[in-house]
Amino acid sequence: MNHAMIIGATGITGGYILNEIASREGWTVTGLCRNPPAEKPPANVRWIGVDLLDAQDARAKLAGLSDVTHIFFCGFIPLSPNEQHLPANGNVEANLALLTNAVEPVAAASKGLRHIQVMQGTKYYGSHIGAFKTPAKEDDPRHMAPNFYFDQQDYVANLQAGKSWTWSCIRPHTVMGFKVGNPLNLLSTLAVYAAISKELGLPLKFPGNDGHYRSVYQVTDAGLLARAAVWAATTPACANQAFNITNGDFFRWESLWPRIADLFGMKAGPVQTIDLVSFMADKGPLWDRMVAEHDLMRVPFAKATNWGFGNYVFKASWDQMSDTTRARKLGFTECFDSEDRMLEQLSELRKARFVP
């Protein structure tokens, strides 16, 4: 049996990885999070509620895990609730502690450990700072620190020296999946923004800047990412490397935006740059009425999406491009047409009654 321990297992990335592994024969899963879900998990999944910023609590609850074979790290601690969209510049110490406090007791107890994987992102290349070399390749020089991705990767690489287990780092960009309450979820931001605009009788105006509207962009389907993560963690040729994982293509919002408007039965409007946090601050009562009138999922407006993340995504006026040749050469060739897949996912949210 393989035993996967997933740190941050209730997030969008960790949640999809958990579901992917739990669906496979020969695997058991332990999910770590502060507050385990209330619903009963599948038979091969168990939850451990733990404060990974408390080294003593982590040791007490994790040192008994002696049969873990694979560790998947998908955790993240923001500086504050309002800075969920800035995961690379600050809070280095806390995010490194989140990894080390989880890994050290388990790595010491699990003599059969085979792999540790750290989830990163294109902020490794400075995509959050400004224009960077594109397409970005895994061995490109680092930008000026701080960036906790650097510290986490250096930690696992140094810890692995002389050990029989291996490591990998996965670098997606804008993970697209459905996870209620996850702050880094552009899919729900698009859906709720479109639904509110339609409810107000407005055309679907692009809320970002003109540069972002016309720049090259990329996304990563959450299911594809989960399959890639398991592939990298179980393929010997992937040992001790980083991998860019995206849908494998690129697009511009100026081409996709009219298709999103058409999906919602709306007219596509022009670019009109707004502060989503400010303009959505008073829309809670409207959302509550929409939930009641359209018989939607009972999701509080504060948990439906994170408007600060939308502001962050839509402000970048530079190309976002990752080279995925390394993964393809080693055997991971799954891909999506990002425009088609995003429209499918938005349709899935409507069918699930998340938005009208």
Q: Is the pLDDT of residue 83 over 60?
A: no
* Closest to 48 in 3D by CA, of 36, 37, 38: 36
Tell me whether residue 203 is in a domain.
yes
Q: Are both 11 and 157 inside the same structural domain?
A: yes
Return the pLDDT at 87. 47
Q: Are both 279 and 226 inside the same structural domain?
A: no
Tell me whether residue 306 is in a domain.
yes
- DSSP states of 61-104 as a string? HHTT-----EEEE-----SSGGGTT-TTTS-HHHHHHHHHHHHH
Percent of the chain with pLDDT over 90: 92
Tell me whether residue 209 is in a domain.
yes
- 295-324 mean pLDDT: 95
Q: Are both 124 and 158 inside the same structural domain?
A: yes
Distance, CA of 98 to CA of 58 (rounded, Å): 10
* Closest to 121 in 3D by CA, of 97, 159, 147, 160: 147
Return the pLDDT at 265. 98
CATH at 239: 3.40.50.720
Contact 31, 47 (CB under 8 A): yes
**pLDDT tens-digit readout, 172-209:** 999 999 987 776 789 999 999 999 999 999 999 999 99
Number of domains in the chain: 2
Q: Are both 231 and 313 inside the same structural domain?
A: no
Q: Which domain holds residue 67?
A: 2-174+221-244
Contact 299, 180 (CB under 8 A): yes
Return the pLDDT at 179. 85
Tell me whether residue 326 is in a domain.
no
Return the pLDDT at 347. 98
Q: Is the pLDDT of residue 82 over 60?
A: no
Return the pLDDT at 77. 85
Q: Are both 340 and 192 inside the same structural domain?
A: yes
List Cβ neighbours of 276 (8 Å cut-off, separation of 6 or more).
Answer: 189, 193, 207, 307, 308, 310, 311, 314
Query: Which of the pair, 76 or 250, is modelled with greater confidence?
Result: 250
Give the pLDDT band (50/70/90) at residue 335. Answer: very high
Q: Are both 128 and 166 inside the same structural domain?
A: yes
Q: Are both 156 and 264 inside the same structural domain?
A: no
**pLDDT tens-digit readout, 34-50:** 999 988 999 999 999 99
For 129, the token pair is: 């700072």
